[in-house]
């Protein structure tokens, strides 16, 4: 027999509502704490004192602690999941060499898993899609999912500078595997990015020996000059 069976119906409903409010308040409190720790991690990683040298020395250890606490309070917090994935990608150069190969592999797998979970919560985030694509080469996976992640990032974040940079660079690493539509889309992204930073777009294109892709972009012409583009045109 229920402990509430002897109570009036209204009293039973009131108690049930109070329990529901208590549960919701507890969940809200846990989510709030999770977001607080994610904020601390974000501030730690983006603080002016976090130089590349300092990061190499401690690997963002304090930020890692904050994100671990954030996910302890809310395992599905998309913000913390994405931050954790990005932090793990950033830590990969710390594990260079054969001695740390297994650690590097596990770190890359962890980053990929965290970003997949983040996408379940925010499937329309261009940043998560771009970082998912960024995590794949470390796993030696330039597969269909890698190409899809690049496509989705490009579609969802056409004017996001950081997304543009990741899409352009990663797309050029697999240029010959992109279909014509995706190649055309990436060239359009290069043109949008060149409005803000023509030098970056030019440098990336040069690093892949694909200056031909940017010679038709008006924002790039003052940076490249006719001397570099004319030989490309004459060779066609």
Domain residue ranges of the chain, discontinuous segments joined by +: 32-46+56-123, 147-236
Confidence at residue 41, expressed as pLDDT on a 0 to 100 scale = 92
Confidence at residue 216, expressed as pLDDT on a 0 to 100 scale = 87
Q: Which of 126, 43, 19 is nearest to 82 (CA)?
A: 126
Regions of the chain with pLDDT less than 50 = 1, 4, 24, 232-236
Helix H segments across the chain?
A: 9-46, 52-58, 61-73, 78-91, 101-121, 126-135, 144-156, 161-173, 180-207, 221-224, 226-235
Confidence at residue 49, expressed as pLDDT on a 0 to 100 scale = 84
Confidence at residue 48, expressed as pLDDT on a 0 to 100 scale = 87
In whole angstroms, how far apart are CA 138 and each of 113, 118, 123, 181, 214?
A: 13, 19, 22, 26, 28
Condensed to tens digits (0 to 9), the pLDDT of residues 152-186 reads 999 999 999 999 999 999 999 999 999 999 999 99
Assign 3-state DSSP to the chain and report helix, strand, coil percentages, each to 5.
80, 0, 20
The domain 32-46+56-123: what is its CATH number?
Answer: 1.25.40
Confidence at residue 219, expressed as pLDDT on a 0 to 100 scale = 82
Give the pTM. Answer: 0.83
DSSP structure class, residue 143 = S
Confidence at residue 173, expressed as pLDDT on a 0 to 100 scale = 96
Tell me if 44 sits within 8 A of 50, measured CB to CB. yes
């Amino acid at each position: 027999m229920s402990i509430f069976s002897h109570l009036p119906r209204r009293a039973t409903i009131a108690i049930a509502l109070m329990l529901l409010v208590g549960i919701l308040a507890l969940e809200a409190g846990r989510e709030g704490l999770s977001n607080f720790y994610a904020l601390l991690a974000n501030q730690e990683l983006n603080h002016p004192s976090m130089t590349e040298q300092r990061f190499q020395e401690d690997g963002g250890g304090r930020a890692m602690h904050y994100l671990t606490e954030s996910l302890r309070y809310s395992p599905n917090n998309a913000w913390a999941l994405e931050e954790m994935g990005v932090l793990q990608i950033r830590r990969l150069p710390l594990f260079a060499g054969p001695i740390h190969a297994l650690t590097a592999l596990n770190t890359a797998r962890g980053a990929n898993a965290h970003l997949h979970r983040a996408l379940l919560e925010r499937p329309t985030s261009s940043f998560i899609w771009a970082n998912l694509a960024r995590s794949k080469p470390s796993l030696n996976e330039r597969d269909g999912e890698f190409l899809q992640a690049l496509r989705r990032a490009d579609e969802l974040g056409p004017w996001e500078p950081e997304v543009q940079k990741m899409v352009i660079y990663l797309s050029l690493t697999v240029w010959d595997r992109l279909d014509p539509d995706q190649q055309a889309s990436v060239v359009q992204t290069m043109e949008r990015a060149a409005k803000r930073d023509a030098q970056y777009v030019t440098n990336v294109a040069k690093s892949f020996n694909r200056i031909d892709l940017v010679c038709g972009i008006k924002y790039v012409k003052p940076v490249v000059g006719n001397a570099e583009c004319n030989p490309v045109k004459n060779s066609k």
